């Protein structure tokens, strides 16, 4: 079933923030915390430091009314920089790749900083910054995830 989440980027303190939110919302993570070190090696990607391997790649927490917040640590060692404007993303989780492609095509039109949806190890993923400065992410999870 389709859903919408709010994706938050942090400068190395995602786990601390989400443990705080867990207490605030009397909730628990919907999946175990995924660490950067859990990622399979990818061609062309520089190796991660031991410190970066401990950082949060993904965490998800249900909050109110079926809404879920998700988060990740931004890694400066990977050329990422946290600035106001890239710290919040609306994450759309459509049921099909075709719907992800449709949404991406319409939202990225006139925008910038786009990564077209493509297969990743967890599913079909892409993102864009629309013409109004809003960040959108598209995820169609692998059925076996």
**What are the pLDDT digits (tens) for 56-98?**
999 999 988 889 999 999 888 777 777 766 678 898 889 999 9
- With beta carbons less than 8 A apart as the criterion, state whether 58 and 30 touch: no
Mean pLDDT value across residues 132-137: 83
* Phi, psi (rounded to 5 degrees) for 109: -60, 120
> Which residues have C-beta within 8 Å of that of residue 129, sequence separation ≥ 6?
111, 112, 113, 114, 135, 136
Per-residue confidence (pLDDT) for residue 100, from 0 to 100: 95
- Please, are residues 136 and 128 in contact by the beta-carbon 8 Å criterion? yes
pLDDT at 43: 83
Classify each residue of 125-138 as buried b or exposed e, where b means 16 or more C-beta atoms within 10 Å of its C-beta. bbbbbbeeeebbbb
Structure tokens at 40: 């399979």
pLDDT of residue 24: 84
pLDDT band at 144 (very low <50, low <70, confident <90, very high): low
The shares of helix, strand and coil residues in the chain, as percent rounded to the nearest 5, are 25, 35, 40
What's the whole-number mean pLDDT along residues 97-108?
A: 94
The residue ranges of every structural domain in the chain are 1-38+48-87, 94-145
**Fold (topology level) of 1-38+48-87:** 2,3-Dihydroxybiphenyl 1,2-Dioxygenase; domain 1 (3.10.180)
Return the pLDDT at 142. Answer: 83
pLDDT at position 105 over 90: yes
For 23, phi then psi, to 5°, come to -70, -45
Tell me the CATH number of domain 94-145, given options 3.10.180.10, 3.30.70.20, 3.30.720.110, 3.20.20.80.
Answer: 3.30.720.110
Instruction: Phi first, then psi: give them for residue 21, nearest 5 degrees.
Output: -60, -35
């Amino acid at each position: 079933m389709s859903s919408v989440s709010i994706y938050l980027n942090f400068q190395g303190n995602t786990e601390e923030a989400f443990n705080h939110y867990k207490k605030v919302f009397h909730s628990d993570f919907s999946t175990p915390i995924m660490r950067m070190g859990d990622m399979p090696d990818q061609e062309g990607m520089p190796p991660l430091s031991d410190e970066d391997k401990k950082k949060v790649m993904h965490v998800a927490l249900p909050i109110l009314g079926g809404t879920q917040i998700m988060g990740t640590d931004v890694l400066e060692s990977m050329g990422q920089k946290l600035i106001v404007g890239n710290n919040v993303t609306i994450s759309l989780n459509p049921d099909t790749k075709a719907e992800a492609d449709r949404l991406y095509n319409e939202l990225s039109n006139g925008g910038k900083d786009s990564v077209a949806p493509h297969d990743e190890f967890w599913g079909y993923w892409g993102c864009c910054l629309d013409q109004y400065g809003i960040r959108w992410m598209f995820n169609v999870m692998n059925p076996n995830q």
